[in-house]
Amino acid sequence: MTSSTLFKKTLLATALFSTSAMAFALPAVVTNGNNDGDGSLRAAIQSGVNEIVVATDDQIMITETLDYDGKKALAIYGKGQTVKALGDFTLLSASQGASLKINGLNFSGPGGFDIENQSSDLTMAGKGIFIDVRDDQAGKVKLDLTNVTVAAVANHGIHISDCNLADACGGGGGGAGEGSNASIKVTFNGVTVSDVGNGKFDADGLRVDERGNGSITFIAYDSLFTGVGADGVELDEGQNGSVMTVVTNSAFNNNGGYCNPDILEAELEIFLAGEPDENEFDESNAVTEKDIPGNVVGTLDDDCFEREVDLYDSGFVEAYEYGIDVDDGFDIDEAGNGSIIAKVMSSEILDNLDEGGDFDEEDNGDIRLVAIDSRARSNSDDGFKNSESGRGNVKGLFYYVESTDNGGKGVVFEEEDNGSVTVVVNDTLTENNDDSDKTGLEVVQEDKGQGTLTVRNSSIVDGIDAEGVTVIED
């Protein structure tokens, strides 16, 4: 053996050793339920390892946020233990945008929140799990939860924010804020999010704010979102990028009631002091904004009230209306370039205080929704509502779907501006929707484009409302 071969072999051995040392790096082991110190979950998170095994049988009681400030992905493996916050603060945050993988852990806040028992510090209201994506981040931020529960926090149950305005990012596809080039992928398997978002306005079960370039992917299997103050799930995608979701064997039930109408309708009545909560005026009456009631103040939460005013071209008031801002089961808002591509399978959306599913797409891009073997029932507004505007098409395919007993319409597809609408409904039932208008299935094609609705082997008991659309029934 020449010396140069020996030298190469030594180099190779060194390389092998360091590779295997990395592959076999030991995880940190959590051996007690203490807030901090040796053997605690906090010490493990701060140790710089990328894998943690929670071995203790104890409940983990924390007095402040568990903050992971690393940038590398972190995995935490439990066996069903509970991490309990002894106060209204965020339980686990990845403050430098790291991907998280968590198996077999429960996260619980202090609970007891509702509009009469709000978070005492609304800007700091506690979340369950929070990933704060860095402004300079790229690639894919992943949150992967298996057999995880999140409950009893005041704010969002789970929040991923790729938005420089953090909690002021705002809902809706047109929501404000800028974001990084990163995309966000959320994968839930056996996740339950319950009784969260009841300590402040607009706090969701899962909330993803995606801005800048990048898309949202949301995959849920065997998961439940229930008792959430705002939306069960809200995905907000602004600027370039799409929302892709596949939801299987999951449920979005009883969400959206933080702005409790039972309490707030009485407060609105007191505020209006005898004035009606909606009114219309002839232009000749020359009613000005000063003549009608203003924004609601002095209630438990004034953000819960919506006030709409329509003006004539002359500037006089044509109509006004007050409403209470309740929320949905599953809400997607997509704006800018990009589409909503959704599959909902063997899932249910029941008893939500606004719409069941509410998918809004703006600007370039399509809505493509496939719903199979799924139910929307007893939601206060529409069962499945899909609204598309700007350049792009609507494509809907329903098989074995039931949408019944909703306060709004059973299923709605609206297409605006350039583009066409193509909806195929098979083996589907709609019944007893929409108290006043009795509409099971509404398909609307406005402006340029074609529209086709094909209904096969279905019972649309409460009727079809088609505008600008050819209806084929057999």
Start-to-end C-alpha separation, the chain: 83
- Distance of closest approach, residue 294 Cβ to Ca ion, in angstroms: 35
- Distance of closest approach, residue 364 Cβ to Ca ion, in angstroms: 5
Tell which residue, 193, 132, 175, 441, has the closest CA to residue 329.
193
The rounded distance, in Å, linking the Cα atoms of 408 and 460 is 15
Q: Which is nearer to Ca ion, 52 or 143 (CB)?
A: 143
The rounded distance, in Å, linking the Cα atoms of 346 and 231 is 20
Cβ of 269: how many Cβ atoms within 10 Å?
12
Q: Which is nearer to Ca ion, 250 or 386 (CB)?
A: 386
Q: Which is nearer to Ca ion, 417 or 431 (CB)?
A: 417
- Distance of closest approach, residue 213 Cβ to Ca ion, in angstroms: 6
Instruction: Considering only the C-alpha atoms of the chain, give the largest distance between any 2 of them, rounded to a whole number of Å.
Output: 106
Q: Which is nearer to Ca ion, 214 or 357 (CB)?
A: 214
- Distance of closest approach, residue 465 Cβ to Ca ion, in angstroms: 19
Q: Which is nearer to Ca ion, 126 or 179 (CB)?
A: 179
CB 357 within 8 A of CB 385: yes
Q: What is the contact surface with Ca ion in residues (CB under 5 A)?
A: 162, 179-180, 182, 212, 214, 237, 241, 336, 338, 363, 365, 392, 417, 419
Q: Which is nearer to Ca ion, 81 or 393 (CB)?
A: 393
- Distance of closest approach, residue 168 Cβ to Ca ion, in angstroms: 17
CB 382 within 8 A of CB 355: yes
- Distance of closest approach, residue 413 Cβ to Ca ion, in angstroms: 11
- Distance of closest approach, residue 20 Cβ to Ca ion, in angstroms: 36
Q: Which is nearer to Ca ion, 82 or 240 (CB)?
A: 240
- Distance of closest approach, residue 134 Cβ to Ca ion, in angstroms: 11
- Distance of closest approach, residue 394 Cβ to Ca ion, in angstroms: 7
| Strand ranges for 268-352 from DSSP E | 278-280, 305-311, 317-324, 330-334, 340-345, 348-350
340 CB-near residues (< 8 Å, 6+ apart): 242, 243, 245, 332, 334, 359, 361, 365, 366, 367, 368, 369
Q: How far is CA 390 from CA 178, 337, 363, 449, 467, in A?
A: 22, 10, 4, 12, 18
Query: DSSP letter string over 399-424?
Result: EEEEEES-SS-SEEEEE-SS--EEEE
Q: Which is nearer to Ca ion, 184 or 401 (CB)?
A: 184
Q: Which is nearer to Ca ion, 238 or 257 (CB)?
A: 238
- Distance of closest approach, residue 10 Cβ to Ca ion, in angstroms: 46
99 CB-near residues (< 8 Å, 6+ apart): 73, 74, 131, 140, 141, 142, 143, 144
Q: Which is nearer to Ca ion, 78 or 336 (CB)?
A: 336
The rounded distance, in Å, linking the Cα atoms of 44 and 306 is 46
3-state secondary structure string, 84-129? EECCCCCCEEECCCCCEEEEEEEEECCCCCECCECCCCCCCCCCCE
